[in-house]
């Protein structure tokens, strides 16, 4: 669960540190006070998209860190350990940190180690389930319904098998279409490729041959000057007629070796001259070896130049640098082989497809069975919650429709869609066509509460999901959230006193405004201040003793 949240230079917050506890924590405040700042900052620490628009002071970084206490047997402990991201001081604590710079860039850290945003999101999704105030709008998109059901039913492993088989099948389908398209213009392409490959086969080009020939051509063309230069260097090193550097060094070495007997201080000089003599001798041997490999060979030079001309000529025909001609030969030969064996390849790919189709069908059939069970449980649980929310006249249902195409789909063999009937006796229809705004809010809340109860995610956040709800329903909403809080940790931004009264703890967002800026502060309320805040929420500016007494009674009964 979330134990500590530190916010610096984020939107209207200068600096804020919160110690947080289990159960239901409610966040309230006047309109515009910044009730959602805490949750926005938390979302940023979990990997939400960042920009420099969130900076309170545009010249300084925003810095948000969130500390979580991890459950004993959570898979996240293993993930952190595998990625060398465990907290060395306390393995059961995870500290997620996000820094946003004035340039708009951000840095992410897990337990002090730099990570990419994808890793931050991976960890964040295991720790917090965020439900924002616009989430009910996503219920209008049927593509989100299947994901909700699979998460509720815990179908991730089976869905992964379905997705893997479908993706492999689709990859083979693209290859088959590619080979089929090649076959459509096969004859003309075959003739051209056959001629090109035969010409290149006849050339018998070797890898890096052009570079080797160019180097040899340069040596052969300059062989006379090279041999003359090497010979002069060899004579200077160790001449036949006059003593070269080697002879003089050896003579100096011989003379000094005699003198060091009487003058030992000459030993360093003798050592240097001995070393120089050795190097001169080695240089002479190197020059001699090079000389023996060089020869003036006009016939070889002519052959090399003709060979290079042939290589450059064919390279120009293929519009490639001569250095790429060898690779071009290999590519054309492979394309020719593919075309010549195209029918066989298509047949082999279709056999693989048939096997994958069977694998997909078996996996999808099992997933469909799991979904049928989840749909029954989810619809029953959601209708029970709707009944509590005074929507007994509504009937929530989930339609399961087989997909028209038999081709493997990564989402499975059927589509799933949430339906609602708001008039008794009328068949349920799509949410987008039936439900009003207030009804959508309550349906969204019912689904969120039900799915959160089966989730392994320890912290659940609701940002004003009670919009459009009032009266006696508000107290029911508060009871639902408090019930959910008994299973773990719940945060809820609310404008309803009936909901706020149900919190195990109460956080108040307040904004102070000066001529130059506005600052939001978030503080935890004691019983007296909490009573006053509930009275304000019920009575607005006109807080009376009666409203205070009513607020106290609400807290006591909660």
**What does the pLDDT look like over 25-63, one tens digit per residue?**
999 998 888 888 999 999 999 998 888 889 999 999 999
The mean pLDDT of 423-449, rounded to a whole number, is 79
In angstroms, the CA 417 to CA 399 distance is 5
pLDDT digits (tens, 9 = 90+) for 134-172: 555 667 778 888 988 998 999 989 999 999 999 999 999
The Cβ of residue 328 has, within 10 Å, a number of other Cβ atoms equal to: 18
Q: Which residue is listed with tokens 């306390």?
A: 90
Reduced to 3 states (helix: H, G, I; strand: E, B; else coil), residue 16 is: strand
Note the pLDDT of residue 422: 85
Mean pLDDT over 83-89 rounds to 91
State pLDDT tens for residues 496-528: 999 999 999 999 999 998 888 889 999 999 999
Weakest-pLDDT range from 309-318, 385-394, 539-548: 539-548
Encoding tokens for residue 134? 């616009």
Q: Please, what is the average pLDDT of the chain?
A: 87
CB 280 within 8 A of CB 246: yes
Mean pLDDT of 185-208: 85
Among residues 223, 153, 204, 197, which one has the least CA distance to residue 378?
A: 153
Q: What's the number of CA atoms in the CB half-sphere (13 Å) around residue 421?
A: 13
- Report pLDDT for 342: 63
Q: CA 338, CA 320: separation in Å to the nearest integer?
A: 22
Band the pLDDT of 546: cuts 50, 70, 90. Answer: confident
The count of other CB atoms within 10 Å of the CB of residue 286 is 13
In a domain, 495, yes or no: no
389 and 403 in contact (C-beta within 8 Å)? no
Task: Name which of 475, 479, 473, 398 is nearest 439 in CA terms.
Answer: 473
pLDDT at 32: 84
- The predicted pLDDT at position 436 comes to 65
Percent of all residues in the chain with a pLDDT value above 90, rounded to a whole number = 43
- Residue 85's pLDDT is 94
The answer to whether 116 and 108 have CB atoms below 8 angstroms apart is: yes
Is 303 within a domain?
yes
Element (H or E) spanning 58, and its range?
A: none
Instruction: Assess whether pLDDT exceeds 80 at residue 454.
Output: no
Q: Which residue has the higher pLDDT, 50 or 438?
A: 50
Torsion region of 200: left, alpha or beta (phi above 0 gives left; psi -120 to 50 gives alpha): alpha
Q: Does residue 302 carry a pLDDT above 90? A: no
Nearest-5° Cα angle at 110, 8 to 130: 70
Q: Which of 226, 209, 231 is nearest to 297 (CA)?
A: 226
Tokens for 252? 């100096």
pLDDT of 133 reads 57
Least confident of 183-187, 366-370, 447-451, 464-468: 183-187
Helix, strand, coil content of the chain in percent (nearest 5): 55, 15, 25
Tell me, what's the pLDDT at 280?
A: 84
Asked if the structure places residue 210 within a domain, the reply is yes
* Straight-line distance from the first to the last Cα atom of the chain, in angstroms, rounded to the nearest whole number: 23
Which residues share a beta bridge with 95? Answer: 67
Q: Which domain holds residue 220?
A: 187-340
Higher pLDDT: 157 or 219? It is 157
Sheet holding 414-421, edge to edge: 395-402, 414-421, 429-430
**Residue 455 pLDDT greater than 70, yes or no:** yes
**Could you tell me if residue 531 is inside a domain?**
no
Average pLDDT over residues 483-492: 88
Q: Are 437 and 468 in contact (CB under 8 A)?
A: yes
Q: What is the pLDDT of residue 551?
A: 85
**Residue 96 in contact with residue 45, Cβ under 8 Å?**
yes
Residue 438 pLDDT class (50, 70, 90 cuts): low
Q: 447: closest CA among 148, 143, 156?
A: 148
Greatest alpha-carbon pair distance for the chain in Å reads 126
- pLDDT value at residue 136: 55
| Lowest-confidence region among 155-169, 253-267, 322-336 | 253-267
pLDDT above 70 for 240: no
**Mean pLDDT of all residues in 423-448:** 79
* Residue carrying structure tokens 């036949």: 240
Q: What single DSSP character describes residue 471?
A: T
**CB-based contacts of 114-123 (< 8 A; 24+ apart in sequence):** 115/85, 117/47, 118/47, 119/83, 119/85, 120/46, 120/47, 120/96, 121/46, 121/47, 122/79, 123/46, 123/76, 123/79, 123/80, 123/94, 123/96
- pLDDT value of position 189: 78
Mean pLDDT of 477-482: 89
pLDDT category of residue 250 using cuts at 50, 70 and 90: confident
- Cα–Cα distance between 269 and 259 in angstroms, integer? 11
Contact 26, 499 (CB under 8 A): yes
Could you tell me where the DSSP H helices lie in 30-74?
Answer: 37-45
Which pair of tokens denotes residue 538?
A: 């019920």
Asked if the structure places residue 217 within a domain, the reply is yes
pLDDT at 111 over 90: yes
pLDDT at 347: 86
User: Which pLDDT band holds residue 541 (cuts at 50, 70, 90)?
Assistant: low
pLDDT band for position 2 (cuts 50, 70, 90) = very high
- Residue 360 in any domain: the answer is no
Cα–chain-centroid distance for residue 245? 67
Q: How confident is the model at residue 21 (pLDDT cuts 50, 70, 90)?
A: very high
Better-predicted residue by pLDDT, 282 or 158: 158
Distances (CA, A) of 73 to 77, 87, 153, 227, 341: 8, 16, 21, 79, 54
Closest by CA position to 461, among listed 138, 20, 16? 20
Spatial separation of the C-alpha atoms in residues 358 and 384, rounded to whole Å: 39
Contact 508, 501 (CB under 8 A): no
CA dihedral 497, 501, 507, 511 (to 10 degrees): 20
Total domain count, the chain? 1
Query: Is the pLDDT assigned to residue 303 strictly greater than 70?
Result: yes
The two structure tokens encoding residue 411: 């989402």
Query: What average pLDDT does this structure show over 271-290?
Result: 85
Identify the weakest region by mean pLDDT among 77-81, 384-388, 444-448, 458-462.
444-448
Residue 472, domain member (yes or no) = no
Bigger pLDDT: 364 or 217? 364
216 inside domain = yes
Q: Tell me: the pLDDT tens digits for 384-431? A: 999 988 888 889 999 999 999 889 999 999 999 999 998 888 899 888
Cβ-Cβ contacts under 8 Å for 83 (sequence gap 6 or more)? 119
Instruction: Report which listed range, 84-98, 214-228, 250-264, 474-488, is most confident.
Output: 84-98
Question: CA-CA distance, 82 to 73, in Å (whole number)?
Answer: 15
């Amino acid at each position: 669960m979330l134990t500590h949240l530190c916010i610096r230079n984020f939107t209207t917050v200068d600096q804020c540190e919160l110690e947080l506890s289990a159960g239901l924590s409610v966040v309230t405040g006047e309109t515009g006070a910044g009730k959602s700042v805490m949750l926005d900052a938390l979302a940023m620490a979990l990997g939400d998209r960042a920009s420099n628009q969130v900076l309170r002071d545009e010249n300084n970084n925003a810095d948000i860190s969130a500390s979580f206490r991890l459950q004993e047997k959570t898979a996240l402990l293993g993930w952190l350990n595998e990625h060398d991201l465990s907290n060395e001081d306390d393995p059961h604590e995870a500290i997620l940190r996000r820094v946003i710079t004035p340039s708009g860039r951000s840095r992410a850290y897990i337990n002090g180690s730099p990570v990419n945003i994808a890793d931050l999101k991976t960890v964040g999704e295991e720790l917090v389930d965020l439900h924002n105030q616009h989430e009910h709008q996503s219920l209008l998109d049927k593509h989100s319904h299947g994901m909700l059901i699979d998460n509720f039913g815990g179908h991730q492993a089976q869905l992964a098998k379905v997705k893997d088989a479908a993706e492999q099948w689709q990859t083979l389908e693209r290859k088959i279409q590619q080979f089929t398209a090649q076959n459509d213009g096969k004859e003309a392409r075959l003739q051209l490729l056959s001629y090109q490959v035969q010409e290149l086969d006849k050339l018998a080009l070797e890898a890096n041959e052009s570079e080797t020939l160019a180097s040899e051509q340069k040596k052969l063309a300059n062989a006379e000057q090279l041999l003359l230069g090497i010979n002069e260097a060899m004579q200077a090193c160790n001449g036949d007629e006059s003593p070269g550097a080697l002879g003089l060094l050896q003579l100096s070495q011989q003379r000094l070796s005699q003198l060091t007997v009487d003058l030992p201080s000459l030993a360093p000089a003798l050592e240097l001259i001995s070393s120089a003599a050795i190097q001169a001798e080695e240089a002479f041997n190197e020059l001699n070896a090079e000389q023996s490999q060089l020869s003036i060979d006009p016939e070889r030079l002519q052959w090399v130049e003709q060979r290079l001309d042939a290589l450059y000529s064919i390279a120009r025909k293929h519009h490639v640098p001569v250095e790429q001609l060898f690779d071009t030969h290999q590519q054309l030969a492979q394309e020719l082989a593919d075309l010549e064996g195209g029918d066989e390849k298509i047949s082999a790919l279709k056999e693989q497809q048939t096997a994958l189709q069977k694998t997909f069908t078996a996996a999808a059939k099992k997933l469909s069975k799991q979904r049928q069970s989840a749909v029954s449980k989810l619809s029953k649980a959601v209708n029970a919650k709707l009944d509590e929310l005074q929507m007994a006249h509504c009937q929530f249902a989930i339609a399961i429709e087989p997909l028209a195409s038999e081709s493997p789909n990564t989402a499975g063999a059927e589509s799933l869609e949430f339906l609602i009937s708001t008039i008794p006796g009328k068949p349920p229809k799509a949410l987008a066509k039936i439900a009003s705004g207030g009804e959508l809010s309550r349906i969204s809340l019912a689904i969120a509460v039900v799915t959160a109860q089966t989730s392994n995610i320890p912290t659940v956040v609701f940002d004003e999901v009670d919009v459009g709800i009032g009266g006696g329903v508000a107290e029911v909403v508060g009871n639902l959230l408090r019930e959910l809080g008994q299973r773990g940790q719940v945060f809820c931004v609310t404008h309803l006193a009936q909901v706020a009264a149900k919190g195990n703890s109460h956080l108040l967002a307040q904004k102070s405004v000066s001529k130059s800026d506005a600052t939001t502060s978030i503080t935890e309320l004691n019983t007296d201040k909490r009573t006053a805040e509930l009275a304000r929420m019920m009575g607005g500016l006109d807080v009376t003793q009666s409203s205070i007494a009513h607020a106290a009674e609400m807290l006591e009964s909660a």
